[in-house]
Chain A
Amino acid sequence: MDKKILCIAVMTSLLTGCISNKVNHAHTTAVNLSQETDKFVMLSNTSIELNKALALKEQDHQLGDGLFPKISLSKTDRETAVKYNTFHAYDLIYSNKEVSKAFTKQNQLLVEYFKSLSPILEDKSVDVAGLVKNIDYLNQVIEKNVSEDGQVNAGLNETKVDLITRTLSSGFKFHQYKVFKNAIREQFPIIIEALYWQKVLFNDNADYISGNHLNEKFALEYRNIEKNLLNQFNVYDDLRVRGGKPVPTYNLKEIKKFDELTSQPYTYFNYLKPVDYKYEEPSVKSAPYIEICEINKNKQENEFSNFITQNKNNLVEVKDVSQDSPTFQYVFYDVERKYLQSGDQLICELINIVGLMQENKFDDVKLKGLEKYLSNYDELLKYFSNLYLPKKEDK
C-alpha cells in the first residue's frame, strides 16, 4: 500500500511540476509581453503623431505644386484646379485624422488586451487543502467515525491530504492553462490582424520620410563642409602663392557640423561594394510571420540593388592620393531605408512572438530580440520626431 502511495506521490509530483512549469512559463511570457506591448504602443502613438505631421507636410507640398500657374489652361480653369486641389487636401487631412484616431483606439485596445491576458494564469489561491479536509470531515461524519471524546477522526493522513491537494491544485492550474490557450487560439488571429495594420502605419511613415530625401540632404551637408574647407584651403593657398605665410586657425566650425552629422542615426554604405544590413530573421518562424513578413530572397536582392541605384546622386567621393595607385571610393549614408527596415523588423518580431504563442510554442518565444528592436526604433523615432514634430513650446 505504502509503495502504491509512494508511486502515486512521485507521479503526482512529476505531473504537478510539469503543469506548474508550463503555467509559470506561459504566465511570465504573457506578463513580459504585456510590458513590451506597452513600450510598443508608446512608440506607435508617437508614430501616429509623426504620421499626422508628415501627412500635413505632404499636403502642403501637393497644394504648393497645384499653385504653379499652367500657361496652357485658361485663368478660370486654373482657378478651378486650385479649388479642386484645396478640396482634396482638406479631404485627405480629414481622412488622416480619422485614421489616426482609429490607430490610437487600436493601441488602447491592444494594451488593455495584453494586460487582461496574464491574469487568467495568475495563482488564484484556491483553498484546495481546506476542501480536501472538509470532504474528509463530511465523509467521516457520514461513516460515524467519531472518537470517544466526541471528536471526528480524520480519515486521511497528512501525506494523502497533501497528495490529493496537489493533484487538485494542478488540475485547477491545468484548467486555467486550457482557458488561456483557448483564449489565445480564438483571439490571437485578431491581434495579428491589428499588428499587420501597424505594419502599414510604420511603412507609411517610412515612405513619408523617404519623400523628404534625407539621404540627399545628408550628402549635401557633407559636401558643404567639404566645400567650406576647400575654400579655406584656397584662401591659404592664394596667400602662400603671393608670398604670404598663412597661419591656420584651429577653431574650425566644420568640426561642429561633422559632430552634428555623426550624431545622426545614419548608416554608411560603400557604393561599389555594398553590404546589405539584412533583416535578422527569427530562428523559429511562426505561420503568421511567414505569411506577413517573410520576404523572397530575390525580391530582397532586387530591392537592395534599387536602393543602391537610387542613392547614386548622394555619393561622397574620396580619392586617397597618398597611395601609389590611387583609387576612388564612393560612399553614401542612409537613414531612409534604415527606418523602414527598423519598423518592419519590430512589427515582424512582435507578429512572430504572437504567432508562436498561438501555435503553443512558448519555449521558442524570446523577448530579447523584441527589446532590441524596440530600442532601435525608438532611437530613430526620436530623431524624426525632433525633425518633424512641433516642439512643446511651439504647440
Chain B
Amino acid sequence: MKGQSAALQILEEIKMLKLAQYLVEKLLPEDYELNMQRLDVITGKIQKLRKVYYYTLKVGMDEIRTDLENALNDLKNYNDGIDRQVTDLAQINQMLKLVAQVIFVAFGLG
C-alpha cells in the first residue's frame, strides 16, 4: 500500500473516533465515570493514530523530497543540454565560416 493511501485511511479512522469522542462528551452528564473511561480510550487511540499518521507522512515526504530534488536537477540538466546544443550550433556555424574563409584565402581563390 502506498504511504498516501495509508495516511488517508488513518485519517478516516481518526475522523470516526473524533465523532465518537464528540458524542461521548455529550453523554458525560449522564454517566460521568463510565463516559470518562470511554473518552480516555478514544483519546488515547486518536493520539496513537495521529502519531502513526505523522510518522507515515514524515517517511513519505522525505522520500518524495529527494525524488523531487532529483527530478528538478534532471530537468535543469535537460534545459542546460539544449542551451549547450544551441551554443554548439552557433560555434559550428562560426567554424564553418572560418574554415571556408581559410580555404578561400589559402588556395588563392580570390
A-to-B contact residues, CB < 8 Å: 62, 65-66, 68, 70-72, 81, 85, 88-89, 91-92, 95-96, 98-99, 102-103, 105-106, 109-110, 112-113, 116-117, 119-120, 124, 126-128, 130-131, 134-135, 137-138, 141-142, 144, 146, 150, 152, 175-176, 179, 182-183, 186-187, 190-191, 193-194, 196-197, 199-200, 203-204, 207, 210-211, 213, 292, 310
Contact = CB atoms under 8 A, between A and B. Distances in A.
Nearest to B103: A141
Interface string B5-43: 001100100110011011001000000110011011001
B68 A70 contact: no
A99 to B, nearest CB: 5
A126 B84 CA distance: 11
Interface in B46-60: 46-47, 50-51, 54-55, 57-58, 60
A39 B50 CA distance: 29
Given A116-B72, A193-B64, A124 B47 contact: no
Given A66-B43, A99-B57, A183-B78, A200 B4 contact: yes
Given A105-B65, A109-B69, A207-B14, A187 B103 contact: no
* Top 5 A-B residue pairs of the complex, sorted by shortest distance between their CB atoms: A95-B54, A102-B61, A134-B96, A138-B100, A187-B71
A144 B109 contact: yes
Given A127-B90, A131-B93, A179-B81, A141 B46 contact: no
Contact of A68 (B36, B79, B89): B36
Given A66-B43, A182-B78, 19 more contacts: A65-B43, A85-B43, A88-B51, A92-B51, A98-B58, A99-B57, A99-B58, A102-B58, A109-B69, A120-B82, A124-B82, A127-B89, A131-B92, A134-B100, A137-B96, A146-B109, A176-B82, A196-B2, A200-B7
B109 A141 contact: yes
Contacts of A65: 21, 25, 39, 43
Interface residues on B, range: 35 or more
A138 B69 contact: no
B68 A116 contact: no
Contacts of B4: 193, 196-197, 199-200, 292
Contact of A186 (B2, B74, B104): B74
Contacts of B25: 65
A200 B8 contact: yes
Contacts of A190: 64, 67-68, 71
B66 to A, nearest CB: 10
Contacts of B55: 95
A128 B92 CA distance: 11
11 contacts: A81-B40, A117-B75, A120-B79, A138-B100, A176-B82, A179-B78, A183-B74, A183-B78, A193-B4, A196-B4, A207-B11
Given A134-B100, A183-B74, A91 B60 contact: no
A269 to B, nearest CB: 19
A142 B93 contact: no
B93 A130 contact: yes
A72 B33 contact: yes
Contacts of A179: 78, 81-82
Nearest to A152: B104
B15 A207 contact: yes
